Structure 1
Amino acid sequence: MHLAGAMRLVRFRASGLPEPRLGLEASPGGDVVDLSAAEPSLPRSMRLFLESGPSGLAAARRALEAGQHRVPRGAVQLLAPIGDPEKVICVGLNYRDHCLEQGAKIPQDPIIFSKFPSAIAGPFDDIVHPEETNEVDWEVELAAVIGKKGRHIEESSALEHVVGFTVANDVSARDWQLRNGRQWLLGKTFDTFCPLGPALVTRDSVADVHNLRIRCSVNGRLMQDSNTSQLIFPLPKIIAWVSRFVTLVPGDILLTGTPAGVGFFRKPPVYLKPGDEVQCEIEELGTIRNRVV
């Protein structure tokens, strides 16, 4: 579905352009409009671009409508839509089917942890398998990106603080995550353990973010297949809860949890190894594909 006013914002590199640039997909998977060329006054950091608020988005929309400064898709290397967020905030145990597969109780409040920004990787970058772990797992997740600063945000207005959505893989080292009574941060934040992309799809592009098919395949085998309707705490609840404790700012990334089908709870468990390819896909948002090395 493509709605009026919708945009798919990207960061990219291209031959002859030495620095990363901001762009827009002319269509999903199509050529990229070089926003940095169309609007040279705009920052080239997505986080700083989002801080410019409605004026920056209006400039991007003008560039998309003009349709100039196109770069062929084959000449583009897509980067993570946001490479320098202030915060990467994650929610654990937030899908009903994921709780059921492990026999866990439904949480009464959102379970919050984080990744460091250094974990971010591009939509088609390699996932580096650390030598410190033998239990690397996959977790496809819907990621929301904050576009408007806020603290103590009400649920009724929470989605107004979201600029858009992207696909994430919350790669997890289970042995570290569960070590010494649960080292969630260490198990979640190895370098390259947060592939993102392929685009930051603006909120007005998505008919219902709480009704999207979400899937993950490993080497072509479907491992996770669910729907964001399975979320225990929907986005407004997550945003209201997190903003009780910290100020959310443009560029902050919220990973909303993963559905059933992770490797850790299979019998026997299945873990990623070098040479594997992981594909994460969310309806209307796109697909990321990462090789384990």
Structure 2
Amino acid sequence: MRLAAYRKNGQSRIGVVENGSLRDLGAFPRDSVEFGRLADEVAAGTLRPGAAVDGVREPAIPAAPDARIICIGLNYAEHAREGGREPPDYPAFFFRIDTSLAPNGARVPVPEVSDKLDYEAELLIVIGRGGRMIPEDKALEHVFGYGVFNDISLRDYQRKGGQWTPGKNFDGTGIVGDEIVTPDEVPSGATGLGVRAILNGKTMQDANTDDMIFTVARSIAIVSEFMTLRPGDLIATGTPSGVGYARTPPVWMKPGDEIVVEVDRVGRISSVIG
């Protein structure tokens, strides 16, 4: 099943994509409790799609207001090495706040304080069933679906201090795909999926989820060791090698650039800079 978040009359709504058209399912869940109910309906096969959504739809972020955005850094060995690090034994974690996110198609603002704007193509996990201390062999049972994420980063601000938080939380820099595919649409654990970033028509990143150091299941298990996951939480699984800062000379995105991120069988998102 493929679901899509969209906006209509100022409200975020959700629908199911069927044969190229979108059929409305109602208002997007307002919190993790409602998201959990949606996940239960999807799992039980009891969704009742309504009328088709006519016209061009405005993409929305498929996240409830209380969703947490947990990001994993250095989850591809070659990406760690291109930044001068050895592949880690434990993930690097950081969080994004809600104002740092923007929907598919949004223009990405160039901050006045920095021009070191870099792309990061990523697979996104959407949690459907919460929990704490989730065993790795049960973790995939907690997945609602998968999406596409562009973790656009301000590299100089990422390195100003000991934490990555500033460089990862500029307003409107985290582009979240409006579509979520349920686990039955992809291989178990979202393995074997191509992940690409394409800047102005040129492929800059081209890898596979099989290259991840920490798999989807392992990532969920590790996150749930230190926090209670809730339905609707998002986990960004990290980016592969080929980012702009590691190139010679560095490639920074500038006003007018188009950046596309693709994950095979999951989706494609596109944004223009500036």
2:51 counterpart (56, 59, 69): 69
1:81 counterpart (48, 57, 62): 62
Give the corresponding residue for 1:194. 174
Kindly indicate whether the alpha-carbon contact (under 8 Å) linking 1:83 and 1:117 is maintained by their aligned counterparts in 2: no
1:20 counterpart (12, 18, 40): 12
CA–CA distance in structure 2, aligned partners of residues 107 and 260 of structure 1:
15
The amino acid that maps onto 2:22 is V
For residue 288 of structure 1, report the CA deviation from its aligned partner. Answer: 0.3
Kindly indicate whether the alpha-carbon contact (under 8 Å) linking 2:199 and 2:259 is maintained by their aligned counterparts in 1: yes
User: Residues 61, 289 of structure 1: CA spacing in aligned structure 2 closer, same or farther, 3 A cutoff?
Assistant: farther
TM-score by length of 1: 0.87
The amino acid that maps onto 1:71 is V
Q: Deviations over 1:50-84 (max 9, x none)?
A: 221554326875435xxx50113x42111122252
CA–CA distance in structure 2, aligned partners of residues 83 and 274 of structure 1:
30
Kindly indicate whether the alpha-carbon contact (under 8 Å) linking 2:101 and 2:174 is maintained by their aligned counterparts in 1: yes
Number of residue pairs the alignment of both structures matches: 273
The amino acid that maps onto 2:187 is A
TM-score by length of 2: 0.93
Kindly indicate whether the alpha-carbon contact (under 8 Å) linking 2:16 and 2:24 is maintained by their aligned counterparts in 1: yes
CA–CA distance in structure 2, aligned partners of residues 285 and 136 of structure 1:
25
Give the corresponding residue for 1:139. 120
Q: Considering only aligned residues, what root-mean-square deviation do their CA atoms show, in Å?
A: 1.9
Where does the alignment leave 5 or more consecutive residues of structure 2 unmatched? Answer: none
Kindly indicate whether the alpha-carbon contact (under 8 Å) linking 1:9 and 1:81 is maintained by their aligned counterparts in 2: no
Percent of pairs identical after alignment?
A: 38
1:105 counterpart (86, 91, 97): 86
SS in 1 for 2:42: helix
1:95 maps onto 2:76 in alignment: yes
Give the corresponding residue for 2:219. 238
Kindly indicate whether the alpha-carbon contact (under 8 Å) linking 2:29 and 2:35 is maintained by their aligned counterparts in 1: no
Q: Which moved more, 1:269-278 or 1:94-103?
A: 94-103
Kindly indicate whether the alpha-carbon contact (under 8 Å) linking 1:278 and 1:291 is maintained by their aligned counterparts in 2: yes
* Superposition pairs of residues 243-258 of structure 1, within 5 angstroms: 243-258=224-239
For residue 18 of structure 1, report the CA deviation from its aligned partner. Answer: 4.2
Where does the alignment leave 5 or more consecutive residues of structure 1 unmatched? Answer: 1-6, 37-41
1:286 maps onto 2:267 in alignment: yes
1:183 maps onto 2:170 in alignment: no
2:99 counterpart (118, 124, 129): 118
CA–CA distance in structure 2, aligned partners of residues 290 and 43 of structure 1:
23
Q: Deviations over 1:25-69 (max 9, x none)?
A: 114xx2210111xxxxx76447454221554326875435xxx50
Kindly indicate whether the alpha-carbon contact (under 8 Å) linking 2:71 and 2:96 is maintained by their aligned counterparts in 1: yes
Q: Deviations over 1:208-240 (max 9, x none)?
A: 412100100111111101100110011111111
CA–CA distance in structure 2, aligned partners of residues 197 and 24 of structure 1:
15
1:206 maps onto 2:186 in alignment: yes
